[in-house]
Homo-oligomer: A and B are copies of this chain.
Amino acid sequence: MAGPNPSPTEPPAPRGEPMDAVTVLVCSSCRRESDGPETPRPGSRLADAAGALAGALSDPGVAVRRVACLGNCSRGLSAAVYRPGCWTYVFGGLDEASGGDLLAGARLFAAAADGFMPWRGRPEALKRGLIARVPPIDLLKDLP
């Protein structure tokens, strides 16, 4: 698998990030049980904040996207973190200020030589907030 940080001489991907970038996918429809029905929803505000932080970081190895919904409704706010060819991680129990933790986890994941998001150095919110991890579909054929 190509590494997540291609050299700057490679042609840019269509949306400005490498195709093998780590993607933080924020659930924009999430709200906690204690939240009211106001819009934009807290998940949407987390997505905006994470996107703004990613813009400020300007790291071509990390992208932020939004989707509704990740199905983790009773344990939100929620986000999934993808890296092509690697396991996908789902996190819950986040809040509107979790954008920095998500990006820190994404950058750690992008730099991992073994393709797993390291436990050591992972922000606390992404340790206690792990909801699930699923292997890449290509791996299924090799499993017993």
Contact = CB atoms under 8 A, between A and B. Distances in A.
A24 to B, nearest CB: 10
A140 B63 CA distance: 10
Contact of A140 (B82, B130, B133): B82
Interface in A34-88: 63, 65-67, 70-72, 78, 80, 82, 84, 88
Copies in the complex: 2
Nearest to A81: B134
Interface residues of A, number: 32
21 contacts: A15-B141, A25-B140, A25-B143, A63-B140, A65-B140, A65-B144, A67-B143, A70-B132, A71-B89, A71-B130, A72-B131, A72-B132, A80-B132, A82-B140, A84-B137, A88-B137, A90-B131, A90-B132, A90-B134, A131-B131, A131-B132
